Amino acid sequence: MRQLIAAAGELAHRNRRIAIVAVCAIVFVALLEDVLEGDLMRIDQAAYLIMVQTLRSEQLTPFMEAFSALATPVSLIAFLLMIAAFAPGRRPGACCALNLVLVVALNQTLKFLIQRPRPEGFALAAETGFSFPSGHSMAAMAFFGLLVWIVWHYKRDRAMRWMCAGAFSLIIVLIGLSRIYLGVHYASDVIGGFCVSLAWLALYTHLVAPLFLGEIPRRETASKDAPSAKKTGLP
C-alpha cells in the first residue's frame, strides 16, 4: 500500500501540470453543474453566514474594499506599468500583460455563456454583469499567481522567494474573500474563478511564459553560471 501511494505521489509530481489542470477542471465542472441548475450550494450558504453575517463590521469593511480594489483594472494596469518599468530582464511586463488580457477575455466569455445572476440584497458595492466565475478572483489568481511563478523560478534568493510567494498568495486569497464579504459574489464564484485561472497558469507558464522570460535557471549552479543568468535576464 505504501509503495502504491509513493508511486502515485511520484507520478503526480512528474505530471503536476496535468494533475493541476485535471483537479481544477473537476472542481469547476462540479460547481458549474449546480450553478446551471440554479442551486445555492452549501458552501455559498456557509460563506454567507461567516463572511457577511458574522464578520462584516464597520471596522473590517474598509480593509476588504481595499483588497478588492487590488484586482480592479486601474490597479492592475498600475502594477503592470511598475513591472514594465522596474522588473529586470527580458519582457516580464509583456508576459504579465498578455496573461492578464487573455484571462479577462476568458472570464468575460465564461460569464456570457453561464449568465449566473449576482447575489442580491446584501451587497456593499455596486457591480454589474454576471457572477460566475468571479472576474476579480480570476484576475487575482492569474496576475499575482504568475508573479509567484516568476519569483519562485527565477529569483535565486531563497528567503526572497518564500517572502514574495507568501505575500502574493495572501493577496490572492484576500481578494477572493473580499468579494464574498462585500456581497458581490458567491463563494462558488470565487472558487470557480480560482480554478479556471490556476489551470490557465499551469498551461501559460509552460507554453508561453518561457518564451518571454527565457529558460528557467538551474538553482544548483545559478550563482556560478553567469551565462545562464544573462540568458534569462532575471536576478
Q: What is the per-residue pLDDT across 83-111, written as a single tens digit (0 to 9) for each? A: 888 777 668 888 999 999 999 999 999 99
Alpha carbon distance 94, 115 (integer Å): 31
Nearest to 157 by CA among 229, 107, 210: 229
Residue 157 has a pLDDT of 83
Alpha carbon distance 65, 69 (integer Å): 6
Distances (CA, A) of 53 to 48, 50, 117, 182, 204: 7, 6, 21, 11, 38
The DSSP code sequence of 99-139 is HHHHHHHHHHHHHHHH-PPPP-S--SS---S--SS-HHHHH
Alpha carbon distance 126, 83 (integer Å): 30
Q: Cα dihedral sign for 68, 22, 94, 103? A: negative
Cell of 66: 481595499
Residue ranges of the chain whose pLDDT lies below 70 = 1-14, 89-90, 218-235
Name the phi and psi angles at 122, rounded to 5.
-140, 25
> In sequence order, which residues have a C-beta less than 8 Å from that of residue 180 and are 6 or more positions away?
47, 48, 51, 52, 186, 187, 190
Alpha carbon distance 126, 182 (integer Å): 10
Residue 115 has a pLDDT of 92
Residue 89 has a pLDDT of 63
Q: What is the per-residue pLDDT across 210-233, written as a single tens digit (0 to 9) for each? A: 888 877 776 544 444 444 444 444
Residue 77 has a pLDDT of 93
Cell of 135: 472576474
Alpha carbon distance 123, 106 (integer Å): 25
Residue 122 has a pLDDT of 81
Between the CA atoms of 187, 188, 191 and 197, what dihedral angle is there, to the nearest 10 degrees? -130
Alpha carbon distance 55, 124 (integer Å): 14
184 SS3 class:
coil
- pTM of structure: 0.85
